[in-house]
Amino acid sequence: MSKARAILIAGLLLTWTSVWAADPPPPIPAGARIGIIDMMSSDVTHFHVGKAPVNSFMRTYRGPLSLSEVIDEPLIWSLTNAGFEPVAVAPTELLRRQKQAWIITTNDSNKLPRACNEELDRLMTDQNLIALIIVAAGPNTNPESVEGNRLRKLPNYVQGWGFSTSDEPEGTTKPVVFNLTQMLLVHKTTDNTRLEYREWGGSYVYEWSNFSPGPDLKTLPDAEIAKFRPVIADVMKRQIARLMPHIKPE
C-alpha cells in the first residue's frame, strides 16, 4: 500500500470515528416502551465483480427472508431480556415517503433532519414511547474502512444485505456477505426527540462458507438462496448485540 493511500484510509477512519464520538445515550427507565420500526426489504442482492467491468452484474432475489425472524424477533427478545417493553410500530406514511432523504442517505451523520425528528416525536407521543429503534438500509459508503477493502468494488448504490462474488481465486466459492443496514436509536425526552446512536452494519463483512455457485452464477436456485437466511440471521444477531449496550436501563 502506498503511503498516500495509507494516509487517506487513516483519515477516513478518523473521520468515521469522530462522527460517532459523543456522550453515551442517557439511561432509559426500566419497563419503558421501546418501539421497533422495521423498514428493511426482504430482498437479497447478489453483486458479481468481474475482472473487467463488462463482466460484472447484479441480481436481486425477491423475498427469500422473513424479516420477523431475522430482525424483529431477535430485537424483541433482546429488549425484553433487558427489562423493556418492545412494541412493533408501523412507520407513518410521511416516514415511508421520506425514508431515502431522512434516513438512508444520512447514514454517516450523527443527526437526523429536523422534519424527521418532528415526525418521530409525533409518532412516539402517539405510541407512548420513550425510545425508538429504526432498522433501515444504507448505501455502500466509506468502503475503504472495511477490513481488506472488500466492499470497495461494489457500487455505492448497493443497499441492504446481500453477497458479492468475484472473478478472483475462490471468489465464486467464498462470497463476501455484506450487511448495509443501520439501526437508529432515537430517544424522546421532555426537551426533544433526537438520534442518540446509529449502529452501522456496513463496517463489517463476513463469508458464506457453504455457498455453491452451481452451473449458472447469474441464476442461483431457490434452494441455494434459502441457505443465505441462517447466514444473515447470525449477522443481524451480531449487529443487535452491538446495539444493546447503548440501551441501558436506569
Over range 176-192, report the average pLDDT.
92
Of 19-23, 33-37, 239-243, the one with minimum mean pLDDT is 19-23
Indicate the pTM of the whole model. 0.86
Neighbouring CB atoms inside 10 A of 208's CB total 18
pLDDT at 16 over 70: no
Number of residues that this document lists for the chain: 250
pLDDT above 70: residue 5 = no
Give residue limits of the domains in the chain: 31-246
Is residue 159 a contact partner of residue 140, using CB atoms and an 8 Å limit? yes
- Percent residues over pLDDT 90 in the chain: 64
DSSP 156-168: TT-BEEEEEEESS
Contact status, residue 167 vs residue 83, Cβ threshold 8 Å: no
| For residues 30-40, average pLDDT | 96
Q: The domain at 31-246 falls in which architecture? A: 3-Layer(aba) Sandwich (3.40)
> Is the pLDDT score of 11 beyond 50?
no
| Mean per-residue pLDDT over the chain, rounded | 86
CA angle 244, 142, 208 (to 5 degrees): 65
Please report the pLDDT score of residue 145 as a whole number: 57
Is the pLDDT confidence value at 18 over 60? no
Query: What is the pLDDT averaged over residues 80-84?
Result: 96
Long-range contacts made by residues 59-65, C-beta under 8 angstroms, separation at least 24? 59/218, 59/219, 59/220, 61/220, 61/225, 64/222, 64/225, 64/226, 64/228, 64/229, 65/228, 65/229, 65/232
User: What are the tens digits of pLDDT across the range 56-67?
Assistant: 999 999 988 899
Measured between alpha carbons, how far is 145 from 167 in angstroms, rounded to an integer?
23
pLDDT tens-place string over residues 206-249? 989 899 999 999 999 999 999 999 999 999 999 999 999 999 88
